[in-house]
Amino acid sequence: MKRKYFIMIGIILLLAVLFIFFLNEQHSPAGQPTFKSQIEANQEEELTDAKEQTDTPLEKEDAEEEQTSNEQAPLQDDKPFPERISEVLETTLNFFLSNQTRVVAIGDSLTQGVGDVTNQGGYVGVLERTINENGEVAKFENYGKRGNRSNQLLKRLDEREIRSSIKKADIVLITIGANDIMQVAKENIMNLKLNDFIEQRIYYEQNLRQIVNKIRDLNGNAEIYLVGFYNPFEKYFQDIEELNTIVETYNSTTESIAEKNDNVMFIPTIDLFHDTNTNLFAEDNFHPNYLGYHKIAKRVLDYISNDIMSEES
């Protein structure tokens, strides 16, 4: 009798453990990634990038051919990707043409264009194709680097090639900050606390101030645009309000720095990704897909156009 009693207790305890494990793994709806899995997927992609750098030229060529064939697929309903932004103010085009404008983009994977299956440079590529549709009226240089945090970008500004480009730039576009948030998540994945992100925000603010100051020391006349970032987890974790709070806090910090410096503008993008009817994310559910980058490019061009019109009025 006692043996049967102990067996029943053991079965109940085992079922309880399995149930708790199931709840932890299924924090989000069925078939959708958990917050932890998103971070681990991001880490795996960074390791994959590092491995690709050691591939032989033949392996790279084969991979590029396969990627090119995949890139030919239509976006949806047999409609091609929108190569450019359809409506551009004539005043803006005339400005770029008459000033032979140089645009330098620097920052993280959002500048590099990770997630753009067309492999054409993300939002920076859309801007370049739009402005230079009828001939090269602006020179674009892209120094986006996947995984860059604010402290790493600050160090990269000491590189000779980047310094030289910024000295000649008329416009400097910057995306930075998302990886600062991700770093906190990676380091505290088993015990995430809101306070951890708040503490890191202080270092982010210090780094961003130095980034702006260093660029200004190199070039006192360039227009600097700080492109804000979005909440990549909003689609799957709408019930975790802290994630939105964290992103909004970092964006507010960026905007505050822009407001305190001449010729520095903050460009918000968080609202662009509230559209739940259209998929704006790449397969990693973190970076924008081509449509997402197209939206960012249009927002950036709108802000640049408004600045140009303000100066000429």
Tell me if residue 42 falls in helix, strand or coil. Answer: helix
The Cα 281–Cα 219 span in angstroms is 35
Do 111 and 152 form a contact (C-beta atoms < 8 A)?
no
Q: Reply yes or no on whether the pLDDT at 12 is more than 80.
A: no
The per-residue pLDDT of the chain, averaged, comes to 80
Res. 242 pLDDT band, cuts 50 70 90: confident
* pLDDT value at residue 136: 87
Helices (H) and strands (E) counted in the chain, each on its own, are 12, 5
Q: Reply yes or no on whether the pLDDT at 233 is more than 90.
A: no
Q: Reply yes or no on whether the pLDDT at 17 is more than 50.
A: no
The Cα 60–Cα 281 span in angstroms is 25
Q: pLDDT of 58-87, one tens digit each?
A: 344 444 444 443 343 444 444 567 877 877
Compare 182 and 224 and report the one with higher pLDDT: 224
Tell me if residue 105 falls in helix, strand or coil. Answer: strand
Q: How far is CA 232 from the centre of its chain?
A: 9
Q: Reply yes or no on whether the pLDDT at 128 is more than 50.
A: yes
Domains of the chain: 33-57+79-312 (3.40.50.1110)
DSSP-assigned states of every residue in 43-85 = HHHHHHHHHHTTS-HHHHHHHHHHHHHHHTS-SBTTBPP--S-
The Cβ of residue 76 has, within 10 Å, a number of other Cβ atoms equal to 9
Q: Reply yes or no on whether the pLDDT at 5 is more than 60.
A: no
Q: Reply yes or no on whether the pLDDT at 244 is more than 50.
A: yes
How far from each other are the two terminal CA atoms of the chain, in whole angstroms? 93
The Cα 293–Cα 82 span in angstroms is 11
Model confidence, pTM: 0.77
Stretch 162-184: mean pLDDT:
95
Bridge-based pairing of strands 264-267 and 171-175 is: unpaired
Tokens 């505050």 belong to which residue? 256
Percent of the chain with pLDDT over 70: 71
Res. 37 pLDDT band, cuts 50 70 90: low
* pLDDT value at residue 309: 85
* pLDDT value at residue 168: 97
Q: Reply yes or no on whether the pLDDT at 25 is more than 50.
A: no
Res. 272 pLDDT band, cuts 50 70 90: very high
Q: Reply yes or no on whether the pLDDT at 217 is more than 90.
A: yes
The Cα 114–Cα 289 span in angstroms is 8
* pLDDT value at residue 301: 93
Tell me if residue 138 falls in helix, strand or coil. Answer: strand
Percent of the chain with pLDDT over 90: 50
The Cα 124–Cα 222 span in angstroms is 17
* pLDDT value at residue 310: 83
The Cα 154–Cα 158 span in angstroms is 8
Res. 96 pLDDT band, cuts 50 70 90: confident
Q: pLDDT of 178-215, one tens digit each?
A: 999 888 877 776 676 777 888 889 999 999 999 999 99
* pLDDT value at residue 19: 41
